[in-house]
Chains A and B, each alone.
Chain A
Amino acid sequence: MDPTAKYISQKISRTRWRPVPAGLLQQPEVFAAGSWDNESNRVSIWSLGDNDSDTDGEFDEEPRLLCDSEHDGDVMDLQALSLAHVWERAHRYSCDNAPCTAVVCRSPELVSVGEDGRVILYKADQTEVVRVIENADSSTIHAVTFLRTTEVLTVNSIGQLKMWDFRQQSDSPAQILSLTGDRVPLHCVDKHPNQQHIVATGGQDGMLCIWDVRQGNTPFSLIEAHSAEMWEVHFHPSNPNHLFTCSEDGSLLHWETTSGSDMSTLLQRGWNSRVVSHSGVPLAGEDDSVVSSWLAGDSSKNRLEATHMLPSQTLSVNSLDVLEQCLVCGTDGEAVYVHRQLPV
């Protein structure tokens, strides 16, 4: 089933589902989208309407705008919270404001990172920041994620992953991991929902790397996922055998293991694969690639298959979010795509 597209007259930098209360087997219906590169940017909330489908089982609903509000500067990241607050000038240079590049929250705590190389910890109900790690990084920090309640992992533009423990007083990272070889900037990071030591990152060259933060400082798997910067990588929160990536090259890939073993054991065996152009609709001008995955001896059993989720080549897909069976993504072509029947 093809995703429904809606053109919203603004380039979308981030889309996020509103979290559904756990326990209720509901599909998410409301999502937020943030714009960028406009003279006046907006954060807008959209609703997908009723869940009832017509007799064909098709969802015809286009997203409807519920409300929106103005936002100063580009919207770089969105997270759902129950309170609202503004921390001014949290990220800054000596004489100017610095762009904040990412925000992550695990209520009630929030962590933000920016181009000024700072890691800042906030509490949702306090106006003062709780802690600032100055000079956490000499280059821009692009993304951050919580590993444990007091630990965060950041990725920066010289290709390093750094682990920070807020229980420690010192301002230096607990651990630094990086690829040997070229220092390619990393743009996104996500951790496995059940196993906190498995982390996926995406880089400027479109490589998807899977790391085990407990051992060594080189990644387990390196997968040539995209031909341009990978903007977001997400494990599916309830079914971690599925991974989603989106990129500047205009594609959104859905990765799933096709064998009996799950993603984590597959990755632990240090599996490598090339991406598969595996979609129902062939892209104009592209040849079909051959599925090739090599895992010593077990090539027939363990495979990672990738499927293109968007019907045609679009401009850069900047953001994606998955929840239950629904996927939402936003592109530079000013379109939001919603897919409500993910095969997960």
Chain B
Amino acid sequence: MEEVDVEPSPMLIPSAGFHQRHLGFEWGPGDLLVYETNYKLQGPRSAGSPLVHVVRKDEDICSPILRKLFNESHLIFVGLQKIKEDVVEVHSVEVSILLAIELIWNLCEVLFIDAAPAGSLLLHLLDWVRLHKSDVDARAREVLQSESPAQHQSYWDVISLVLQGRMDEARQVLSKQASLRAESSSVFKRMDVLLQTMPIFNPTGTQTLTEFDVKWRHWHEECDRCLQDNTFASNRHLETIVKILVGDEDTILEQKELLSTWYHFLVTRLLFTHPTIKPPDLHYYAQSSMNMFLGPRAPPEPLDIILLSAFEFDLHQVIKDCSIALNNWWFVAHLTDLLDHCKLLQSHNLHFGSNLREFLVLEYASGLFTHHSLWQLAVDYFDHCPEFGRVYLELQIERIPLDTERKAIKVLRICEDRQMSEQVRSICKIMAKRALRNNRLGSALSWSIRAKDAAFATLISERFLQDYCNKGSFTDLDLLDNLGPAMLLSDRLTFLGKYREFHRLYGENRFSEAAKLLLSLMTAKIAPRGLWMTLLTDALPLLEQKEVKTRTTHALHSHFTVVKKLVETMYICLQNFKHLSCTIAV
């Protein structure tokens, strides 16, 4: 077994495990069941706690805000599976509370999916930092909109604009100062020129990286010359700015408060020392930036570790660190899925056969399934796990509690769409049994018809016939009179329908048809044995009826034939019955 990367944090379960009692546990699909137990199998009986504690690992799944996230990301996930082209559009998920996740996600986009080469890499990283440090805009606007911007107390926070490489905006703010004092206007003009002439790499332009590098070095030397000449010695703020432009790491580090994070420091540092940074060299600067910014003794936060792994382009480490740090599988499952679609994940066969993406998506979906409401989302995720998705779904779907018919109908639709006939049959049987227990025979029958469950249909028919024998009349006539082709589902059901029809015909005085029907019921051998006596008793009045109904010779003849056949069949039946009774008696 591998070593654990981090020490697991202990979790206290209230009212369990006191007085040196042992705790037993059992894994559930998303929870852990914990109970107090005597370690020995037999021993003196002592009062123990009768409680079973359910320990849920993932509380996020119950948060209403996160439910919105799960639903929106579900739509995106399904949409992504349907895209077949090689170029995958990156969908960014806007999360208001999980800023860290957004940060990581954006960084992964920049480093792995956009895979920017040297030159554009820095530009993308600048964008990334600007996105996540947006208060700079607000402050700059506040200063510019105030009555006298130059006197504003946060005026010199213009440095943060420089740190983010936003030279035009910095120039705009500095111009406010320049217009004020005539004597230092030349100094400000000088600074303005420096800021304006800073070369920015244009990835779509014709300039190559080497040309840009040369230009940049020229500019860098110019800045250095200004520093050496003490051009800006009169104004300490401008002096700071020019030191930053030259790339003096200590000066940049002094702006810790404005930078606020080590990765901002990293990007700023690169901007003014190595704008043509290549991806493989990134991690060296990242590590050193983190050390310089945080100090040697500060332990790195989980977020920092994750970002560092990203800068090292170690995708698997990123996923692993995220899995440990975050409570819920949501992030890693979606990230891995996206990376897999961009073909960035090597197929990494795990011990249990499926690849990493499938494993994570399955974990996420299984977690969703334990939720009383989000199980519907999980179905789509299982659909897109080619190896084990179906098996997981088959096992989980039968365990959804079915309180109302409407929910059962939805679950059944899911099973039917995927040809899971076993599950369909089992769910329909549960519903039919419940209906039968509540005496809703029509409901029970409609569930059996849906499942094409002949055995249960037979059971229901038996129940009807039993009721008939007990009460002497049929219940639920609206159902029996309108069975339609469903009658053919089982023999017993067919008999029931036809028998009811016989009664109806008899009630309408259509005796010859009734007789024919009764005859066919007897000869077709679908009548249950227990009812033969009843059938024979029903036949008796028909035999008498021939006297009443005789009108024409034809009718008489046909009646006579029918009656003759009836008598013959009666005889056979009686013989069989006698045989039965003899065998029973013996």
Contact = CB atoms under 8 A, between A and B. Distances in A.
A10 B273 CA distance: 52
A7 B68 contact: yes
Interface in A299-344: 312-316, 332-335
Interface in B474-509: 475-476, 478-479, 482-486
A289 B445 CA distance: 37
5 contacts: A76-B406, A158-B446, A162-B478, A333-B71, A333-B74
Contacts of B475: 138
Interface residues on A, range: 35 or more
Contacts of A39: 372
A333 B482 contact: no
Interface of B: 64-65, 67-68, 71-72, 74-75, 78-79, 82, 372-373, 376-377, 403-407, 409-410, 413, 417, 438-443, 445-446, 449, 475-476, 478-479, 482-486
A337 to B, nearest CB: 13
A93 interface: yes
Which 3 residue pairs of A and B lie closest in terms of their CB atoms, listed nearest first?
A138-B442, A139-B442, A138-B476
A158 B445 contact: yes
A140 B482 CA distance: 15
B82 A93 contact: no
B128 to A, nearest CB: 27
A102 B347 CA distance: 52
A284 interface: yes
A73 B404 CA distance: 10
A11 interface: yes
B507 to A, nearest CB: 16
A58 interface: no
Contacts of A312: 75, 79
Contacts of B482: 158, 160, 176, 178, 183
Contacts of B484: 180-183
Nearest to B379: A315
A295 interface: no
Nearest to A178: B482
B373 A139 contact: no
Contacts of A156: 442
A38 B373 contact: yes
A140 B439 contact: no
Given A99-B405, A116-B438, A183 B478 contact: no
A10 B71 CA distance: 10
Given A115-B440, A140-B443, A183 B413 contact: no
Nearest to A157: B446
Contacts of A178: 482
Given A158-B479, A176-B482, A74 B404 contact: yes
A308 B379 CA distance: 24
Contacts of A284: 79, 82
Given A99-B403, A138-B479, A183-B484, A9 B438 contact: no
Given A37-B373, A284-B79, A158 B409 contact: no
Contact of B446 (A183, A332, A335): A183
Interface of A is mostly: loop
Given A13-B406, A38-B372, A182-B486, 20 more contacts: A74-B404, A99-B403, A99-B405, A115-B404, A115-B405, A116-B440, A117-B442, A117-B443, A139-B440, A139-B446, A156-B442, A158-B446, A158-B482, A173-B478, A182-B485, A185-B446, A228-B413, A228-B417, A315-B376, A334-B71
A53 interface: no
Contacts of A313: 78
Contacts of A316: 410
A139 B78 CA distance: 37
A137 interface: yes
Contact of A9 (B67, B74, B406): B67
Contact of B438 (A98, A173, A285): A98
Given A158-B445, A183-B446, A183-B449, A99 B438 contact: no
Given A94-B438, A138-B443, A335 B407 contact: no
Nearest to B70: A334
A273 to B, nearest CB: 24
A140 B79 contact: no
Contacts of B403: 73-74, 99
Contacts of B79: 284, 312
Nearest to A115: B405
A162 B482 CA distance: 13
A182 B79 CA distance: 36
Interface string A4-19: 0001011101000000
Contacts of B74: 333
A37 B71 contact: no
B372 A157 contact: no
A137 B404 contact: no
A262 to B, nearest CB: 33
Given A139-B440, A334-B67, A204 B445 contact: no
Nearest to B62: A39
Interface in A235-279: 248
Interface in A161-183: 162, 173, 176, 178, 180-183
Interface string A27-65: 000000000111100000000000000000000000000
Nearest to A176: B478
A140 B407 CA distance: 14
A18 B200 CA distance: 58
B404 A76 contact: yes
A73 to B, nearest CB: 8
B439 to A, nearest CB: 7
A287 interface: no
A88 interface: no
A100 to B, nearest CB: 10
Given A9-B67, A183-B484, A185-B446, A285 B479 contact: no
Nearest to A41: B373
Nearest to A99: B404
Interface in A96-146: 96, 98-99, 101, 115-117, 135, 137-140
Contacts of A204: 409
A229 interface: yes
A229 B417 CA distance: 12
Nearest to A35: B373
Contacts of A37: 372-373, 407
B72 A7 contact: yes
A204 B406 CA distance: 11
Determine which residue in B74, B82, B373 has the highest number of CB atoms from chain A within 10 A of its CB, and name it: B373
B438 A138 contact: no
Contacts of B372: 37-39
Contacts of B82: 284-285
Contacts of A96: 438
Given A178-B482, A335-B71, A140 B373 contact: no
A160 B478 contact: yes
A42 to B, nearest CB: 11
B68 A94 contact: no
Contact of A333 (B75, B410, B439): B75
Given A176-B482, A229-B409, A314-B75, A137 B438 contact: no
A285 B485 CA distance: 36
A107 to B, nearest CB: 27
A15 to B, nearest CB: 16
Contacts of B439: 93-94
Contacts of B441: 138
B485 A181 contact: yes
Contacts of A117: 440, 442-443
